[in-house]
Structure 1
Amino acid sequence: MNRIRLENSEFEGENSVYLLGTDTDAPTTLIDTSVRKPETLDSLESGLADYGCSVGDVDRVLVTHWHTDHAGLAGTVQARSDAAVFVHEDDAALVAQDESAWDAIETRQQRLLDEWGLPEHIQDPVFQHARKIGRLDGPEPTVEPFSAGDRFDCGDVELEAVHLPGHTAGLSGFAFDGDSGRELFCGDALLGNYTPNVGGADVRLENPLAAYLDTLSHVVGESYERAWPGHGGPLDPTGRAREIRDHHRDRAGDVIDVLERHGPTDPWTVGSHLFGDLDGIHLLHGPGESYAHLRHLAEAGYVERVGDEYELVEQPDLDALFEDRMATSP
């Protein structure tokens, strides 16, 4: 397995894409592709050349999720190499640039911007910015959907698809037996320097935080020895999953504090108290994360939605709400 580092200034820093199967008769496999920019494609070609191959030699692309910094070059790679492009069934239509799938997600996004309480004068700019950086463009790949448990022979290792929703509905990793134990290509399910956004990064999930907490439970329950994320270098998956879980437990406490101080409040206002002034894509991600927490607290009966606002009805047992999940795999 070879890691190729590709510069990316738009999202969570440089992308890590992974190359497998170059020393075997198995298909030459690329995990993720980064953004569709000429300079990124040049860097990908250069990185592949370091391992004796080119974009035209790629037989298979495994996409962890639909975001442009992971799937952006999938169509270009396929056009140059005739590679098969595999995406989890929940994200496949978006990577294939299916108009009906994009219309559905953008219709929901527009509705939620109003429901979350974004000021009317910024709703359209936020939506247009999210659309500009979110929609895939370029060659439309022919996509082959996969499901959790599907396997991919990469010669030295066999990858098993693992569904890790939360950041997106179809985010998936690929588990394999490494030198010292089970390892995981985890996409953006775990990141070393950032906490993956839930709520704004994919508005299709009805309770994105619950889905993500289940993903963290899976990671801890499987005791992976090492994880290879979509940004940055390898990390300790169990330790990092617990850190992120603790972060969300603390964030839930902050949300409760806002509701106690200000009474019934919409996600935009909660986000303003939590994050301060926001710009760019964070104008979507900030209230989106606030919504994810409010929705999760409401599902547990601690918060009640009244119109587009949420009010505290019972002091939550945050330890139980977050700790108990860690003992249960999805």
Structure 2
Amino acid sequence: MKRIQLGNTVFEGENDVYLLDGETTALVDTGVALPGVREELVGGLADYGLSFADVDAVVLTHWHPDHAGLAGEVQAEGDADVYVHEADAGLVDGTETPLFTDRDLQHETFERWGMPAADQKRLINFFDAVSVDLSGRPADVTTFADGDVIEAGGVALEALHLPGHTAGLSGFAFDPRTVPEHNPVAGADATEEAFTGDALLPKYTPNVGGADVRVDGALAAYAESLARIVARDFDAAHPGHRRQIDEPSRRAATILDHHRHRTRRVIEVLGESGSATAWEVSAALFGSLEDIHVLHGPGEAFSHLDHLAEAGVVEPDGTAYRLVDSDPDVDALFPTTPLDDVVDGSDNA
């Protein structure tokens, strides 16, 4: 297994693409469809004597352009099979329109969040500047569901549906001892590692709510995904950005605890203000935002408000929310894990 790192100036840091070149050749994710990134992927494959035409399969963790953007181009040159979870398939094969280019969805979403007109325009201008061809060429896709096993690059990949960041985000569990040129992190006893895409990152917490506005109950879905990662107790995780994660369960539990802390902070904001929109809560949490974060900030705030509304802690008041329970049991709003007493997500970003 080889990691190819690709530039990413639009989203959160360098992307990781994983090359599996056993009995067949496969990629886990592809990078964004920008010319410079395409050339980086071409060069990364060339370092191992390969080209797009040599790729037999592309396995996608999710639909976001920085992960799936080049899938169609890789497929066009070698007829590779492109695998994606059924919930994200339409945004890879081109039958669905992403928020980046859907004006009606933009208006509906931004109004629901209470985003001022000037900031809506600012965000739409950002989309227009970066999203031309960002999603790349549509691909013919083969869909999978949770629990399906995909044979790719000579490795059996078990699909783990981990929604929250996107509707179809999936990880892939595998036995590291079956992967050519890969040394299991825990030595000969290591039996299970996973590609986690953006479900689990080593530094930032993946955005929930703004990253895919199609997800109902995004925070609840993501919390359950994190609890599932903790329960699987992988020996290592290979994320969509940055470095390998050597303690995936601990990292997942830390992010879960981070969302408990953030939920308490949202309750404090509402207690101080009386009522607030997602946009106003975002400003209290994150301050002034630029570029893609103008989407992610209020989206994250909305996911927490929506989670609290579902639990009866807050209730909608137009586009705003007001507190009806000032002292809820926040821990009860999230799944528990065996690591809850040994992690602290208060300073996670």
Query: 1: distance between equivalents of 2:57 and 2:222?
Result: 28
Deviates more, 1:34-43 or 1:100-109: 100-109
> What is the aligned counterpart of 2:229 among 208, 214, 219?
219
| Deviation for aligned residue 1:120 | 1.6
Number of matched residues?
A: 323
Aligned to 2:72: 75
| Deviation for aligned residue 1:248 | 0.8
Query: 2: distance between equivalents of 1:94 and 1:102?
Result: 10
Q: State the Cα RMSD in Å.
A: 1.9
When the two structures are superposed, what TM-score results if normalisation uses the length of structure 2? Answer: 0.87
| Deviation for aligned residue 1:189 | 0.2
Aligned to 2:310: 299
Aligned to 2:183: none
Aligned to 2:137: 139
| Deviation for aligned residue 1:136 | 4.4
The DSSP-based 3-state class of the residue aligned with 2:196 is strand
| Deviation for aligned residue 1:202 | 0.4
Q: 1:270 to 1:100 in 2, by over 3 A?
A: closer
The DSSP-based 3-state class of the residue aligned with 2:72 is helix
Query: Given residue 214 of structure 1, which amino acid in structure 2 is its aligned partner?
Result: E
> What is the aligned counterpart of 1:60 among 57, 78, 91?
57
Query: 2: distance between equivalents of 1:92 and 1:301?
Result: 34
> What is the aligned counterpart of 2:286 among 253, 275, 281?
275
Aligned to 2:151: 153
| Deviation for aligned residue 1:101 | 6.9
Q: 1:187 to 1:100 in 2, by over 3 A?
A: closer
| Deviation for aligned residue 1:139 | 2.4
Aligned to 2:92: 95
Query: 2: distance between equivalents of 1:183 and 1:60?
Result: 20
Query: 2: distance between equivalents of 1:106 and 1:95?
Result: 19
When the two structures are superposed, what TM-score results if normalisation uses the length of structure 1? Answer: 0.92
Query: 1: distance between equivalents of 2:59 and 2:104?
Result: 28
Q: 1:149 to 1:105 in 2, by over 3 A?
A: farther
Q: 1:157 to 1:137 in 2, by over 3 A?
A: closer
Q: 1:12 to 1:204 in 2, by over 3 A?
A: same
Contact 1:105-1:203 at 8 Å conserved across structures? no
For residues 223-261 of structure 1, the C-alpha deviation after alignment (integer angstroms, 9 at most, x for no partner) is: 111100000121021011011111111111110110011
| Deviation for aligned residue 1:132 | 5.4
Is the counterpart of residue 265 in structure 1 residue 276 in structure 2? yes
The DSSP-based 3-state class of the residue aligned with 2:275 is coil
The DSSP-based 3-state class of the residue aligned with 1:216 is helix
The DSSP-based 3-state class of the residue aligned with 1:265 is strand
| Deviation for aligned residue 1:138 | 3.7
Is the counterpart of residue 16 in structure 1 residue 28 in structure 2? no
Aligned to 2:323: 312
Contact 1:85-1:141 at 8 Å conserved across structures? yes
Contact 2:7-2:14 at 8 Å conserved across structures? yes
Query: 1: distance between equivalents of 2:336 and 2:106?
Result: 29
Q: 1:234 to 1:106 in 2, by over 3 A?
A: farther
Aligned to 1:192: 202
Is the counterpart of residue 240 in structure 1 residue 223 in structure 2? no
Query: Given residue 276 of structure 2, which amino acid in structure 1 is its aligned partner?
Result: T
Q: 1:92 to 1:82 in 2, by over 3 A?
A: same
Aligned to 1:164: 162
Query: 2: distance between equivalents of 1:279 and 1:101?
Result: 20
Q: 1:133 to 1:104 in 2, by over 3 A?
A: closer
For residues 275-310 of structure 1, the C-alpha deviation after alignment (integer angstroms, 9 at most, x for no partner) is: 111111111110100000000011111111121111
The DSSP-based 3-state class of the residue aligned with 2:3 is strand
For residues 137-185 of structure 1, the C-alpha deviation after alignment (integer angstroms, 9 at most, x for no partner) is: 4422111111111212236531111101000001011111124021110
| Structure with the higher helix share, 1 or 2 | 1
Contact 2:165-2:218 at 8 Å conserved across structures? yes
Contact 2:100-2:127 at 8 Å conserved across structures? no
Aligned to 1:2: 2
Q: Between the two proteins, what is the percent identity of the paired residues?
A: 51
Aligned to 2:240: 230
Q: 1:116 to 1:101 in 2, by over 3 A?
A: closer
Query: 1: distance between equivalents of 2:197 and 2:238?
Result: 7
| Deviation for aligned residue 1:109 | 3.4
| Deviation for aligned residue 1:93 | 0.6
| Deviation for aligned residue 1:110 | 2.1
For residues 107-139 of structure 1, the C-alpha deviation after alignment (integer angstroms, 9 at most, x for no partner) is: 333212011111122213323434654574442
Contact 1:214-1:325 at 8 Å conserved across structures? no
> What is the aligned counterpart of 1:207 among 217, 236, 250?
217
